[in-house]
Structure 1
Amino acid sequence: MTYQLLILPFLTAAAILTFLSARRPDFGKRMVASTVAAVILLTLTAIFDNLMIGAGLVVYPEENLSGIAIGIAPIEDFAYTLCAAYGVPALFVLLSRRKPS
């Protein structure tokens, strides 16, 4: 199984959760906050993934990768960061109780 197929359910779930949470009144503010968090987390992912791969702590089979990389970190690693930055806040909002009107 390739990493693209492994990531697909997580990306799909994050997209669905984000879409479902779009009806909440704070959606715009949450998207701004999620985007800021995503930029910070993607930067940290790029730094530390490259360090870990460069140190030999993590090795990926070439046949399972897309071949696209940021430094030596495969692009697939960054999908989980996006899922966390957008999916987790959306899930939190969907599972929290709404304030009575």
Structure 2
Amino acid sequence: MSNQQSALGQFSIGRVGQFSISADNLYLFFDLSFAALVEQLAHKLKTVKAFIALCNREQMPAIEVPGLVCYEDLIAEQSSNFIWSEFDERTASSMCYISGTYR
């Protein structure tokens, strides 16, 4: 638990769960240092279709999480022939990010 506490600073597990619930995430990608936290929160995150562990098959955490997926397995199924879109550099874009300053 000490890894999660240092990474999350002042936020409790319940508060981290609130961030994820309010975001209505469909997919949650997580570092292995957060595996225990993900296991504790997974049952509360009803909108999440899959929890993707950022690791290879040999590193998969032994946790009880529905829809647990290995990142390397996920990308192995994809074609390596990605065709990048071309568009004007002034084309509008957006990104949403909830930082640790959210209270």
When normalised by structure 1's length, the TM-score is: 0.21
TM-score (norm 2): 0.21
Q: Higher strand share goes to which structure?
A: 2
Which structure is higher in helix share?
A: 1
Bigger relative contact order, structure 1 or 2 (CA pairs below 8 A, ≥6 apart): 1
